[in-house]
């Protein structure tokens, strides 16, 4: 496994100034690529337990490097698998983009969490673990098809305990996450015939309940979704969960 700066970085430490015609933030930040695996054709659905634990360790290490920098407000860790999901390289890889701002999607969630009388994600874990949308669980993590799924076969992996980020994971949680994630990727590969997907790790420094979102890219985001931010999902999460459980 190797980590290095992205050759085609979206964010750089010393960006050239943006246009003077409009008010714009400079593209200040950091952009790294993690080469997930030594083999060019390796599929993450086949990663061993040891391999997946190492990948999670790399995510954790790079997160801990960036999260405390003065010029970083958010660290995005994600993986695009397959061309239709945005991967420009076929060799399995993940990316890290450190931003100087809190992105709008996360800001909206953080505002909602601080306005709620309890953690909405703890509530989701508690309620969904015994629902028709539950897929799998082990000692410290649960996988569900969220009732608010945006895309067909979307799944979320959440820790049972309220931790904000990967750095707060203990050994047990690290091991359990690797095992649930392997299981999730294998089931998705088998059920949907190795679909393209985006895997996203949502986490912040504190006051959050970290979670991992997996969006298979088997439908197109089109005019209606782009014009409204409202998603049409033809597969109910209950149906998706039943099929994934059976895979």
Residues that bind Zn ion (CB under 5 A): 40, 91, 119, 121-122, 162, 209
Number of neighbours of residue 165 by Cβ within 10 angstroms:
20
The answer to whether 122 touches 162, Cβ cutoff 8 Å, is: yes
C-beta of 66 vs 121, nearer to Zn ion = 121
C-beta of 162 vs 245, nearer to Zn ion = 162
Dist. CA 67–CA 204, nearest whole Å:
8
Helices assigned H by DSSP within the chain: 49-67, 104-115, 120-128, 171-192, 223-228, 237-246
Confirm whether 93 is a catalytic residue: yes
Dist. CA 72–CA 97, nearest whole Å:
10
Q: Which residue among the candidates 93, 162, 209, 215 is catalytic per the annotation?
A: 93
* Cβ at position 176, least distance to Zn ion in Å: 17
* Cβ at position 112, least distance to Zn ion in Å: 13
* Cβ at position 161, least distance to Zn ion in Å: 8
* Cβ at position 207, least distance to Zn ion in Å: 10
Dist. CA 180–CA 183, nearest whole Å:
5
C-beta of 38 vs 86, nearer to Zn ion = 38
Q: What is the DSSP letter of 12?
A: B
What length is written for the chain?
247
* Cβ at position 85, least distance to Zn ion in Å: 17
* Burial grade of 193 (CB within 10 A; 0-12, 13-18, 19 or more): exposed
C-beta of 2 vs 172, nearer to Zn ion = 2
C-beta of 110 vs 119, nearer to Zn ion = 119
3-state class of 166 per DSSP? Answer: helix
Which residues have a catalytic role annotated? 93
């Amino acid at each position: 496994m190797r980590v290095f700066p992205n050759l085609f970085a979206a964010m750089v430490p010393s960006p050239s100034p943006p246009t003077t015609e409009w008010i714009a933030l400079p593209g200040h930040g950091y952009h790294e690529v993690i080469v997930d695996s030594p083999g060019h054709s390796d599929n993450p659905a086949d990663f061993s337990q040891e391999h997946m634990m190492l990948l999670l360790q790399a995510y954790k290490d790079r997160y801990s490097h960036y999260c405390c920098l003065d010029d970083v407000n958010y660290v995005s860790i994600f993986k695009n698998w397959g061309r239709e999901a945005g991967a420009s390289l076929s060799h399995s890889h993940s990316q890290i983009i450190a931003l100087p701002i809190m992105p709008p999607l996360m800001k909206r969630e953080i505002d909602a969490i601080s306005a709620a009388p309890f953690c909405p994600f703890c509530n989701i874990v508690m309620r969904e673990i015994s629902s028709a949308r539950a897929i799998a669980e082990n000692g410290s993590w649960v996988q569900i098809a969220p009732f608010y799924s945006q895309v067909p076969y979307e799944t979320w992996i959440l820790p049972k305990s309220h931790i904000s980020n990967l750095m707060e994971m203990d050994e047990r949680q690290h091991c359990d996450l690797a095992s649930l994630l392997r299981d999730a990727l294998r089931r998705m590969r088998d059920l949907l015939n190795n679909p393209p997907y985006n895997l996203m790790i949502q986490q912040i420094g504190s006051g959050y309940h970290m979670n991992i979102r997996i969006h298979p890219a088997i439908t197109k985001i089109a005019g209606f979704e782009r014009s409204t931010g409202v998603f049409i999902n033809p597969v109910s999460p209950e149906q998706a969960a039943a099929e994934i459980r059976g895979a």
